[in-house]
Amino acid sequence: MRETIAESINSTVEGLRKSGIIDEITMKNIQNLCIVDVKQYTPENIVSIRKRLKLSQAALASLFNISPSTVQKWEQGTKRPAGASNKLLDIIERKGMEALI
């Protein structure tokens, strides 16, 4: 539902920009407010995503350009994914591994 609302807002804002009512900077600022929040992933979430994609810890690590021990620590709960890794988990959970290839 939130993506549908964001799409609607983005379409409206784009129309306002094309009409000259708002400028490019204002349009970008409004669009940035519509970015979907990325959830925090638990060790169970990470294992579930990895297994659904039929990836080993090493293969997931390679896909994210991180060490296999980092994936292992995520799955043990001793470390949490952050920043780009968290966003990549979100992308592959929602859109599948094909979104990164």
Percent of the chain predicted with pLDDT > 70: 95
Residue 96 phi, psi dihedral angles, 5° rounding: 85, 170
The predicted structure's pLDDT at residue 50: 95
Closest C-alpha among 3, 23, 5, 4 to residue 14: 23
77 pLDDT band, cuts 50/70/90, is: very high
Interatomic CA distance for residues 22 and 14, integer angstroms: 9
Across 1-5, 56-60, 73-77, least confident range: 1-5
Residue 32: partners with Cβ closer than 8 Å, 6 or more residues away: none
CA–chain centroid gap for 64, Å, is 13
Check: pTM over 0.75? Answer yes or no: no
